[in-house]
């Protein structure tokens, strides 16, 4: 599958992959800064079923990882630093385990290689309340979504993926049907034999709960060279909540020998 990307800068290649319901521009501001200040060529990707990339019924991590390998091949990139947040972090881990020769270093933001119970159904249910035969503006969509989703930040995150199709009708860029069908897969654990022994950085939000202290042993089972950095005061959307600390931490990681 041919993935859509935004590429900024010149230098060593860095791939960034968003989380569930996200898209490439979730990382656009930080990506520009890393390109300009850290001397990197930043590739902000839309994973399958998200953003401007194609849709498919298959939403497995193996398929998503192979899409990114195809992207590397198409762009004549032998290996890259690979970074992913949440679902994108699981894609990055899958790539590193299956194709370690293509992943120079790994950054995983606020997700662990363990299994997670399904916890996105409330979001899906809220999204299903929007009838785009009736709603004709982003403001109307936001007002309807607010009835079941009072969290302003979450609504704004989701509404980034709302656009008008060729018929001027509002629709989601993400493939809600495929996501809902495969929602149990989104939280699946890595198999016990999965292993990547190159430099790895895990970043967690202090208030998130996605990576707990007791998960460190599991992380090191799969990624023995992993280090963990905790961003104080941040939740799951670490890069949106604490962009300055993320900027400094990642820039240091990208440029260190």
Q: Active-site residue numbers? A: 86, 177, 236
Element (H, E) at 248: helix 243-255
Where does residue 107 rank: exposed (0-12), middle (13-18), buried (19+ CB within 10 A)?
buried
Q: Are 91 and 64 in contact (CB under 8 A)?
A: yes
Strand partners, 5: 45
Phi, psi of 219 (to 5 degrees): -60, -45
C-alpha distance from residue 69 to each of 66, 80, 244 (Å): 5, 10, 30
C-alpha distance from residue 195 to each of 191, 222, 223, 254 (Å): 9, 5, 6, 22
Q: How many residues does the chain have?
A: 257
């Amino acid at each position: 599958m041919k993935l859509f990307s935004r590429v900024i800068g010149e230098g060593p290649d860095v791939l960034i992959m968003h989380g569930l319901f996200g898209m490439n521009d979730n990382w656009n501001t930080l990506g520009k800064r890393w390109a300009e200040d850290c001397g990197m060529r930043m590739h902000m990707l839309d994973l399958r079923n998200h953003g401007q990339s194609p849709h498919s019924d298959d939403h497995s991590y193996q398929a998503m990882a192979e899409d990114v390998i195809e992207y590397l091949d198409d762009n004549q990139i032998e290996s890259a630093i690979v970074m992913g947040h949440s679902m994108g972090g699981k894609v990055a881990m899958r790539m590193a385990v299956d194709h370690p020769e293509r992943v120079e270093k790994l950054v995983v933001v606020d997700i662990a290689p363990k299994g997670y119970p399904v916890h996105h159904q409330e979001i899906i249910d809220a999204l299903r309340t929007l009838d785009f035969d009736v709603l004709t503006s982003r403001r109307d969509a936001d007002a309807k979504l607010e009835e079941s989703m009072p969290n302003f930040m979450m609504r704004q995150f989701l509404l980034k993926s709302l656009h008008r199709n060729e018929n001027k009708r509002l629709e989601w860029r993400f493939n809600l049907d495929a996501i809902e069908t495969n929602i149990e897969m989104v939280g699946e654990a890595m198999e016990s034999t999965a292993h990547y022994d190159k430099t790895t950085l895990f970043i967690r939000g202090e208030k998130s709960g996605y990576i707990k202290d007791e998960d460190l042993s599991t992380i090191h089972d799969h990624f023995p060279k992993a280090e963990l950095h905790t961003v104080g005061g941040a939740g799951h959307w670490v890069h949106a909540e604490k962009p300055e600390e993320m900027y400094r931490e990642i820039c240091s990681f990208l440029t260190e020998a």
